[in-house]
Amino acid sequence: MAAGNTYVALATNTLGSAAASVTFSSISGAYTDLVLVIQTGADSSAVAELQVQVNGDTGSNYSRTRLTGSGSAAASSRASSVAFMRFTGIAYLPNGNLDCNVLVNFMNYANTTTYKTVLSRLNHPAAEVNATVNLWSSTSAITSILIYPSTNNFKAGSTFQLFGIAAA
């Protein structure tokens, strides 16, 4: 086990007002993996999908497989050659609470010889839990991450934390 912290806090963004997106940029390549922790909700009644693009890549270079469970039903879906990663729905809760948390692992994000695998787990207590594996079909190191909802905005008070995993 490495001495010191395994998780190194790289950046935190807490929204003071509703926002259309959150970006982490100039990400150091000094870690083995990245972990993104999100606590958020939507700012209106429409359900939004949580979406991510890396390094400004808007091309059809992403694919994903998702497993979802609601407590009474289970489902899966697959998409390929799409323009973003997706981590399923966030919704508006009228009581002002944030409604879901998401844990996203960017595996070997700085490696320049392999495509990037991104694993996520979303917990949405009013609706569902899901696990998604996304693939970014690029050998470039990840240096920026853009997070945005498919519709509307992130709710004020949402938090986005990025951690680096120190090499053992």
Q: What is the pLDDT of residues 10-57, one digit of tens each?
A: 999 999 998 999 999 999 999 999 999 998 877 776 667 889 999 999
Task: Quote the pLDDT of residue 123.
Answer: 82
Q: What is the C-alpha to C-alpha distance for residues 165 and 100, in angstroms, rounded to an integer?
A: 23
Quickly state the pLDDT bin for 124 (edges 50, 70, 90).
confident
Q: Is residue 2 part of a domain?
A: no
Say if 116 falls within a structural domain: yes
Q: Which residues contact 129 (CB under 8 A, 6 or more apart)?
A: 68, 69, 121, 122, 123
Unique residue bearing structure tokens 């958020």: 40
Residue 1 lies in a domain: no
Q: How many CA atoms lie within 13 A of 89 on its CB side?
A: 15
As for how many domains the chain has, the answer is 1
In a domain, 141, yes or no: yes
What local confidence, expressed as pLDDT, does residue 12 receive? 97
pTM: 0.89
Res. 3: pLDDT tops 60: no
Of 47 and 165, the structure prediction assigns the larger pLDDT to 165
Largest CA distance in the chain: 47
Q: Which tokens in the block code for residue 130? A: 């899901």
The CATH number of whichever domain residue 123 belongs to comes to 2.60.120
Domain that holds residue 29: 7-165
What are the pLDDT digits (tens) for 58-98? 999 999 999 888 888 898 999 999 999 988 766 555 555 56
**Taking a C-beta distance cutoff of 8 angstroms, is the pair 63, 57 a contact?**
no
- Whether 114 maps to a domain, the answer reads yes
Residue 32 lies inside a defined structural domain of this protein = yes
Q: Please indicate, yes or no, if residue 147 is contained in any of the structural domains.
A: yes
